[in-house]
Structure 1
Amino acid sequence: MLGPNDLHPDDVAFDTAVRDRIASGHYRFGQALPSGLLGVEFGLESDQFDRAFRHLMRDALVRHDARGPFGPGYYVTLGTTSRPAMTPQSLSARRP
């Protein structure tokens, strides 16, 4: 049984990949994440995005913006453009 702070087993690869991509600068501050492509890549249905993004949002790596500049979606809040880059080690330390 999962606790409220536990990462769902189906979301581990997704969470790791997005964190690594933010840390490497592949996804940058303010960028809209390609949720549809990520869903295809990791086998997520649209109703699973909130669950999959929950820990990234909790760690302030992404935010959901219903009125974002590129439409509703998830946007990077930490990255390499306007804020210091996160390293894989610092992101790993933030994982539950």
Structure 2
Amino acid sequence: MSMQSLIESRLRETLAPSQLSVIDESHLHAGHAGWREGGETHFRVEITADAFAGQNRVARHRMVNTALTEAFDRGLHALALKARAPGE
């Protein structure tokens, strides 16, 4: 399973988002810390989920990071994240 597929799968299973966008931006970080040949190290995620309602930004990021523990264990290095509740 690719890193992008893993990220999408875990977020869908854990947070049931109404909107999810996962973009591999590894090519933009070639030669930087955490980058490796073949990419799949740096991702941009935009997610909207009911689970974020009433949660502040830090709590939302923690929820996403917890959902992606396996991805970080497998080499995910960086995650640019926009996490919203519906209607925001």
Structure 2 length as normaliser, TM-score? 0.34
The structure whose residues are more often helix, as a share, is 1
Structure 1 length as normaliser, TM-score? 0.33
The structure whose residues are more often strand, as a share, is 2
